[in-house]
Structure 1
Amino acid sequence: MARLDYFAPGVYIEEIDRGSRPIEGVSTAIAGFVGFTEDVRGGAELFKPMLVTNWTQYLNYFSRPNSDGFTDFNAYLPFAVYGYFMNGGGRCWITSIGTQLPNAPKPPDPQPASVRITGRGNRPSLQFTMRPEQIAAGTMTIVISDSGPRPLPEGTEGSVPPNTGEYFKVQIRRGDETLEEYDNLTMNREGNGQFATYAVTALRNSMFITIEDISQTGQPLGRRPGNGQYELTAPIPATPPDRFSSDIEGVRDDRTGVRGLFEIDEITMVACPDLMRAYQSELMNLDQVHAIMELMLSMCEGANTGDIPNPPNRMVVLDSPPDCPKPQQVVEWLNRFNRRSMFGALYYPWIKVANPRDRGNPISVPPCGHVMGVWGRTDETRGVYKAPANEVPRGVIGLDYDTNFREQELLNPLGINCIRRFPNRGIRIWGARTLVEPDKTEWRYISVRRLISYIEKSLELGTQWVVFEPNDEDLWARVRRTVSNFLERIWREGALFGASPEQAFYVKCDEELNPPDTRILGRLYIEVGVCPVRPAEFVILRISQWNGIEDEE
């Protein structure tokens, strides 16, 4: 930056930034899910969003140890997240609304809060169980680390046995507080108590946990529990049925539920697959389901108009109710819902996937998770401007209903995107429309809506350097150059229509847009127009007979 003061004679070196600042495109395929999970642990919290980048990480947060991550009551969220990652989805945010159905019968003997720790060779070693009076106090952590034999008292004759690696230490923590600590432990039931204490004997009088030796026969070194931190979490209580709907909606200030998920700026697509699980279980009636759908669409629209302080680059993927398997039924349901929005997309019918909790037999699940994975895969391989259709949803082994051509003629104009089975081509997503009003043809396609959102958000973040700069012609020229460079780049990628940049977009930032009156108010107006590419939804081949001789006039 140029200096404004020179006092001593000499040579001064100045670095001057004359280039325009390139605008980097934002991420377009980051999902947000709301639904039931098998567990909530590892730092995740009930009703609060948690970042997950792969299926293994999902298991660490939302499944029980050594579990497959699915639930005994067939919650749809694990299937949606699994399908999302399988189809090419990247990172996502998960909000758990519970680990059991609120109206499910309670077991006569509730499962105690316990954790099993394995030793060498992945064999069972110790089981720790939280004492009942400690359950209300919250999660505890069992920390196991290396130790050694107990040293002999000073002045005592004899020698300490060598450290064979069988000795360990147990700490019981809650947060950063160490509640109890036991050192010089061993799995040797008949060891010399002068040098080490059998673990079960040492922890017998613990005020916080009970301990059980579940190891098989073998040497103490082989039965020693593995080092690490192990959470001891109390069972998560189910939400009362009368509060369930409000808990799903959540509170913005507390970052809970659907409202809390919308506070994560990077999320660009949202789904709530277990709305349908709650509807099937009679936790929510259809009007309550519609209320949550309406909330998600309204928050997307409010962010776009500036009424809600959230990023305006989101879409909601909706699912049809499970009791509407046929085309006419889903049309009747959509007419009852009677909500249109360019920020919504609906896919039909439900898909069949393998259920790990039923020996791999098919189970019908909402398609939202698999579809959002396809959105992410298409963004990665082609670009956000490519319609996420004519793509194979991975992991799908069947459909709840095989839609034919005539039936899709009924559904497609209404914005219902069909998933269809084709001979020799497999199951494919065969629709790319939003749920916008039919007369708003400019927002008819998902790819157009998402492309414009991508451009808007990228320009918003990429022009932050302009704020508080002198509002003059030099700034206007720099802004035009910066924005034009970005738009030309995505035009070259194929996102904009036109044989030249001049046909594909324009950028206006001059004195006409920024007269003295607006400059006095501290405002800078930039007008951008783009011509997005649209999908070739209808391909018409015009064929006629030709005799090979040009017609003479």
Structure 2
Amino acid sequence: MPEYLAPGVYVEEVSFRAKSLEGVPTSTTGFAGATRYGPVYFPGAPKAAAPRLITSFTEFERVYGGLEDVAPDGVGRINYLAHAVRAFFLNGGQRLYVSRVYAQAAPGVDGGTGEPTYAGCARRAINAGGGLTATWYARWPGRAGEVHVRTEAVRSKNVSYLDDEGDVQARRARDGALVEIIAPGDPIPVGNAPLDADQLAVVTQDADGKQSFSDKNGNPVLPAANAIIQLVEARVTVAVNDERIDVTQELGLHPAQRRYIGHILQQDDPEDEDSTVWLDWDPEPPGAPVPSFLPALLLIALQANPSPRLAGGDDGSTLIDADLAGEPASLDDADVKATGLEALAEIDDIAIVALPDAVALADVASGAAALIAHAERCRYRIAVLDAPRGSSMNQVREFRGLFDSKYAAIYHPWVEILDPNERPTQGAPQKRLLLPPSGFVAGIYARSDIERGVHKAPANEVVRGLTRFEANINKPRQDVLNPEGINALRFFEGRGNRVWGARTISSDPEWKYVNVRRLFIYLEHSIDKGTQWAVFEPNNARLWANIRRMVEDFLYVMWRDGALLGDKPEDAYFVRCDRTTMAQNDLDNGRLICLVGVAPVKPAEFVIFRVGQWTADAQK
């Protein structure tokens, strides 16, 4: 309790109400798989290699590349994950974490030096003179990193002036700045004209702000009073594709500059977090001091680069189930990050997970098993599974029979779309693609949660962005699939394409429906996060009453929103936290036990009307 030591007035804040529970998000989704580009851990990778939160498909294209095929081992295949992301946002999804999976085709560390070789990253080495090399690297591996990098020299207008002592100085030029000194009568270079080392000088600024200039030999330069001095900076233009060109302006060439090129375009924390390239530049040759003219040599070399396109990008090796499952972060080395599904496990907000690239495995079931294991281990998320392409009725039933989990649901058949990579030509039909349904279904999960709530079964919902389903599932076929927990995607005349099933793949009838499983995930996760304040509080009746009121208030709102069954709150839920739920042994061992029971609403899966004949004089 507070201490009262000196006479006076003490004003204290107290609480007369129970704490409140806030519901966790239920529509945040996580995908793992191969992409053309983007953040992924590999030896020597930038520190920002964690899965990125994506809120639109345009953002996905900027970070992870477009819909074009990926080519592991040089063999092109459909970019299933990118198409799934497009389908997710098209069907109402709003928040998506993407964990890129990349299997290096070459070792990532040079066995001789132990230095990273950035295997799979496109690059272009440039000789800067004096035994120094500047290298442009793609930040992430992949053939999409073979971008076009052009460096230009940008000249300002004449910045010379005379100070109080009559010495020539340069406006805006700070320590390490590069300037071009043009003698009176000489032609004035403009634009991106090739740099002439004989006209360049590096500025040195003393403690009083007095400038001096040094030439390529390190000798001082005394510009004439009427000489023209132009401040020279770098502009880097990166042409990623026909639709994206990144331009970085006003770059300095010396570490003392505020916008030093080695800082703005660095590997770990560039100015633009989605920057596609970084400059590997070590200005200290072994055993020799840094030449003062080095900034000029660097810009001259970058401007004159005869091969501006990066080369050597690689999409890696063909993925296996272990790649998709991933590896956890190292406990001993903070630089070794988690990969694959393990990287998604570190993100608490994710409630829906899918593995679109599992269908590209030689054994699709192994990928599905890894996804189910991930969802069960993380507890607070549900897995959306894809059956193999072209599965017949018996094949999809056989595939479903391999699993039993209350944390997963399977959807069938695949979805056909018009290939967005092709532009339609007159008189020729546009190419079609077959895609696994998980991206579409995950978007529908999110849309249903946002519009209705997690208690609403994500079924009888329209599937957007398709031409047709791979196979026609009619009622007799669904009579076989539905009891086995295989959710059908069906076409209804006049009602369009819809999800027509809401069952998990659990053999436990208590967890038959997807919405019931997800409702309990929402409830359990919300209580988990919202009651962390109670840990180490005095375990007495005051704490028990506070927790009871907090959980009851939360469940009352859920009942009022239609998530719980019952005409009255007491019919919909109960909360017990007192000496009936805890023995003395529990109290002695620091355990507080709260018993919560809820009556979830189940979907009206079978709507039955019983119709009979009625005569006018019959009695009711």
**TM bucket, shorter chain:** 0.7 to 0.9
Aligned residue number for residue 172 of structure 2: none
Aligned residue number for residue 357 of structure 1: 421
CA distance in 2, matches of 1:136, 1:434: 50
CA distance in 1, matches of 2:605, 2:568: 24
TM (normalized to structure 2)?
Answer: 0.68
SS across alignment from 1:293: helix
Aligned counterpart in structure 2 of residue 23 of structure 1, from 14, 21, 24: 21
CA distance in 2, matches of 1:410, 1:315: 24
In structure 2, do the counterparts of structure 1 residues 273 and 209 end up closer, same or farther at CA, with 3 Å as the change threshold? farther
Letter in 2 for 1:23: L
1:380-391 matched pairs, under 5 angstroms? 380-391=450-461
Tell whether 2:95 aligns with 1:91: yes
Map Cα deviations across residues 282-339 of structure 1 (whole Å, 9 max, x no partner).
xx2x2xx3233222222333x3xxxxxx4x2111111011141x3233123333xx21
Letter in 1 for 2:370: L
Letter in 2 for 1:300: A
* Alpha-carbon shift at residue 269 of structure 1 (Å): 1.4
Q: Are the equivalent residues in 1 in contact too, given 2:155–2:232 (CA < 8 A)?
A: no
Letter in 2 for 1:246: A
Q: CA RMSD in A?
A: 3.6
1:173-192 matched pairs, under 5 angstroms? 173=262, 174-175=266-267, 179=281
Q: Are the equivalent residues in 2 in contact too, given 1:99–1:236 (CA < 8 A)?
A: no
Name the count of aligned residue pairs.
467
Tell whether 2:63 aligns with 1:78: no
SS across alignment from 2:320: helix
Tell whether 2:512 aligns with 1:428: no
TM (normalized to structure 1)?
Answer: 0.76
CA distance in 2, matches of 1:142, 1:500: 70
In structure 2, do the counterparts of structure 1 residues 447 and 146 end up closer, same or farther at CA, with 3 Å as the change threshold? farther
Aligned counterpart in structure 2 of residue 467 of structure 1, from 504, 513, 535: 535
SS across alignment from 1:148: strand
Aligned counterpart in structure 2 of residue 331 of structure 1, from 380, 390, 397: 397
Letter in 1 for 2:403: R
Q: Are the equivalent residues in 1 in contact too, given 2:234–2:299 (CA < 8 A)?
A: no
Aligned residue number for residue 408 of structure 1: 478
In structure 2, do the counterparts of structure 1 residues 275 and 447 end up closer, same or farther at CA, with 3 Å as the change threshold? same
Gaps of 5+ in 1: 103-109, 115-128, 182-198, 215-231, 304-309
CA distance in 2, matches of 1:372, 1:45: 29
Aligned residue number for residue 305 of structure 2: 210
Q: Are the equivalent residues in 1 in contact too, given 2:516–2:600 (CA < 8 A)?
A: yes
Tell whether 2:564 aligns with 1:496: yes
Q: Are the equivalent residues in 2 in contact too, given 1:47–1:96 (CA < 8 A)?
A: no
Letter in 1 for 2:313: P
CA distance in 2, matches of 1:532, 1:44: 46
Aligned counterpart in structure 2 of residue 270 of structure 1, from 350, 353, 373: 353
SS across alignment from 2:85: helix
Letter in 1 for 2:409: A
Letter in 2 for 1:148: S
SS across alignment from 1:316: strand
1:400-549 matched pairs, under 5 angstroms? 400-437=470-507, 440-549=508-617
CA distance in 2, matches of 1:290, 1:415: 16
Tell whether 2:216 aligns with 1:148: no
CA distance in 2, matches of 1:262, 1:420: 33
Letter in 2 for 1:314: R
In structure 2, do the counterparts of structure 1 residues 205 and 101 end up closer, same or farther at CA, with 3 Å as the change threshold? closer
CA distance in 1, matches of 2:308, 2:583: 81
* Alpha-carbon shift at residue 478 of structure 1 (Å): 0.8
Map Cα deviations across residues 344-392 of structure 1 (whole Å, 9 max, x no partner).
1100000012212233532100010110000000000100000001111
In structure 2, do the counterparts of structure 1 residues 10 and 179 end up closer, same or farther at CA, with 3 Å as the change threshold? same
Gaps of 5+ in 2: 71-75, 107-118, 128-132, 141-148, 158-178, 182-220, 236-249, 254-260, 269-278, 284-295, 330-336, 424-429
Larger Rg: 2
SS across alignment from 2:567: coil
* Alpha-carbon shift at residue 170 of structure 1 (Å): 6.5
* Alpha-carbon shift at residue 161 of structure 1 (Å): 7.9
SS across alignment from 1:95: strand
Aligned residue number for residue 73 of structure 2: none
CA distance in 2, matches of 1:204, 1:155: 22
CA distance in 2, matches of 1:209, 1:378: 56
Q: Are the equivalent residues in 2 in contact too, given 1:138–1:233 (CA < 8 A)?
A: no
* Alpha-carbon shift at residue 414 of structure 1 (Å): 0.6
Tell whether 2:318 aligns with 1:314: no
CA distance in 2, matches of 1:422, 1:44: 50
Map Cα deviations across residues 137-170 of structure 1 (whole Å, 9 max, x no partner).
8749988896525454644143538999998647
Aligned residue number for residue 374 of structure 2: 299
